[in-house]
Amino acid sequence: QNLPGKTAFITGGASGIGLGIAKALLGAGMNVVIADIRDDHLAAAEAELAGGDRVLPLKLDVTDRAAFAAAADAAEARFGKLHILCNNAGVAVVGPTELATFADWDWVMGVNVGGTINGIVTVLPRILAHGEGGHIVNTASMSALVPVGGTTIYSCGKAAVTSMMECMRPELEARGVICSAFCPGAVQSNIAEAGKTRPADLAETGYAEADKRRASGGNFMHLYQTKEEVGERVLQGILNDELYILTHSEFLDGVRERGEATSAAVQTHLPENPDYKQTFAMLFRNPAI
């Protein structure tokens, strides 16, 4: 990737991880569009980035498809072409699975998975159309790879956006678009405030009590990585064309255990059918299909 002068569109780009990514990409000479649902975050981020004409703050709810297309139009009107898409906007609920309401599921999946789908459908054709190549980074989480109790809704959404990058990577690589799944551990951010942007029609939650208990359980923010650290990690992952952009070594055992457990579960006692293997490879590894 030759980044200077090119343009990145970062959802949830006005706070936490998205802002860290914006800082790193701006530092690498890119124009950055920070698209975010919160006006206060947009104003503070614009001041913090201090990037002048190379920063375009845009108000956007990623679940609104028409607004997403309008935001992409506005970004192209300002910078010409979009090259990097960071589907990063995200929200979370945490607690026992049986307490989740439909609204808890719909809100988190709507933003974290639906918003990412909207980003792909809106921006990928624009990147392919200009033919200069590009990169898509979905912000997932270590919790997509390492099971964490009480995070069912959040983690299965993160697994979905990880899988999205794994599937799209071989399909798009040859056409110059690289796909990466960014899976960080805990990062200093404002995600604990996510409820402030929860829509009224999805307000009914089963986690009010669990949230209160967690809020009184202590603040561990000082143990987390900073937005600058993870922003630089994403930049490095983009420059190196990494499929998995991972952080925190504390999760290495968990990542390894999952790989070992899934490998061990394959039915290796059954004979392998070479025809099936070849056909499968032909059908699903061929990007033209």
- Indicate the helix (H) or strand (E) that contains 32: strand 31-36
Which residues are CB-contacts of 70 (< 8 A; sequence separation ≥ 6)? Answer: none
Residues 21-60 binding ligand NAI (CB under 6 A) are 36-38, 41, 60
The angle formed by the CA atoms of residues 8, 243 and 235, to the nearest 5 degrees, is 40
Please tell me the total number of residues recorded for the chain in this structure: 289
Q: How far is the CB of 18 from ligand NAI (least distance, A)?
A: 6
Is residue 197 involved in binding ligand NAI (CB under 6 A)? Answer: yes
- 71, 111, 113, 123: which one contacts ligand NAI (CB under 6 A)? 111
Q: How far is the CB of 40 from ligand NAI (least distance, A)?
A: 9
Is residue 245 involved in binding ligand NAI (CB under 6 A)? Answer: no
| Region of residue 50 (left: phi > 0; alpha: psi -120 to 50; beta: else) | left
Q: Is 154 among the catalytic positions?
A: yes
| Count of residues that interact with ligand NAI, criterion CB under 6 A | 33
Which residues are CB-contacts of 270 (< 8 A; sequence separation ≥ 6)? Answer: none
Is residue 104 involved in binding ligand NAI (CB under 6 A)? Answer: no
Nearer CB in complex with ligand NAI: 62/146: 62
CB 9 within 8 A of CB 68: no
Is residue 67 involved in binding ligand NAI (CB under 6 A)? Answer: no
- 189, 205, 237, 251: which one contacts ligand NAI (CB under 6 A)? 189
* Nearest-angstrom CA–CA distance, 34 and 41: 10
* Nearest-angstrom CA–CA distance, 19 and 12: 8
* Nearest-angstrom CA–CA distance, 205 and 194: 13
Pick the piece of the chain touching ligand NAI (CB under 6 A) from 68-76, 89-97, 172-180, 275-283. 89-97
Q: How far is the CB of 7 from ligand NAI (least distance, A)?
A: 18
Q: How far is the CB of 150 from ligand NAI (least distance, A)?
A: 15
Q: How far is the CB of 64 from ligand NAI (least distance, A)?
A: 8
- 3, 22, 33, 187: which one contacts ligand NAI (CB under 6 A)? 187
Chain position carrying tokens 């990494």: 242
12, 140, 227, 231, 254 from 224: Cα distances, Å: 19, 16, 9, 14, 18
Positions touching ligand NAI (CB under 6 A) are 11-12, 14-18, 36-38, 41, 60-63, 88-92, 111-112, 115, 139, 141, 184, 186-187, 189-191, 194, 197
- Residue numbers annotated as active site: 154
